[in-house]
């Protein structure tokens, strides 16, 4: 099992899509183990997107991410990073496949609704930026026996 960071960006919050997006993750069988609504401070946005500093879109991205509240989620599941990224769809809404979050809810190439960690290393770093110790609460769910096949002792 792995835990990944998901951010429902200002456009998703302002458009009232939070519940519909969360429901997609839960319907898939993923577990929400942390949630926090916040307005990202400038310094945190700059740290989160530090790898993009100097790129043409960096200033606009930081401004956008600090412009309005976001919903930050810790999402857990088997292969959660890859599963969430597939569910998110291509970066640009205009190019995202129908059936994905961006494909179903977005058309903009700037406002793309959602962020998801792209690797286990990024997830660990990003979760540490947005959640303090104890704010991500992992707990057993009886329904997991119906989400994953435990026939061999470990979830498949």
Contact 105, 35 (CB under 8 A): no
Of the residues 115, 117, 127, 131, only one is catalytic, namely 115
Could you tell me which of 79, 76, 78 has the C-alpha nearest to residue 148? 78
Q: Identify whether the C-beta of residue 62 lies closer than 8 Å to the C-beta of residue 115.
A: no
For the purposes of burial, counting CB atoms within 10 Å of the CB of 93, is it exposed (0-12), middle (13-18) or buried (19 or more)?
buried
Cβ-proximal residues to 124 (8 Å cutoff; 6+ apart), any chain: none
115 is catalytic: yes
- Catalytic residues, which ones? 115
């Amino acid at each position: 099992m792995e835990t990944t960071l998901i951010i429902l960006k200002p456009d998703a919050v302002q458009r009232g899509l939070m519940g519909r997006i969360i429901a997609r993750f839960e319907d898939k069988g993923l577990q929400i183990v942390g949630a926090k609504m916040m307005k990202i401070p400038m310094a945190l946005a700059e740290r989160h997107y530090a790898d993009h500093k100097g790129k043409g879109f960096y200033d606009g991205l930081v401004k956008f991410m600090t412009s309005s509240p976001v919903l930050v989620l810790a999402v857990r599941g088997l292969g959660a990073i890859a599963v969430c990224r597939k569910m998110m769809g291509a970066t640009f809404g205009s190019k995202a496949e129908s059936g994905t979050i961006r494909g179903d809810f977005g058309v903009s190439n700037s406002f793309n609704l959602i962020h998801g960690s792209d690797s286990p290393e990024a997830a660990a770093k990003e979760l540490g930026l947005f959640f303090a110790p104890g704010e991500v609460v992992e707990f057993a769910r009886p329904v997991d026996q119906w989400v994953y096949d435990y026939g061999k002792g470990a979830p498949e």
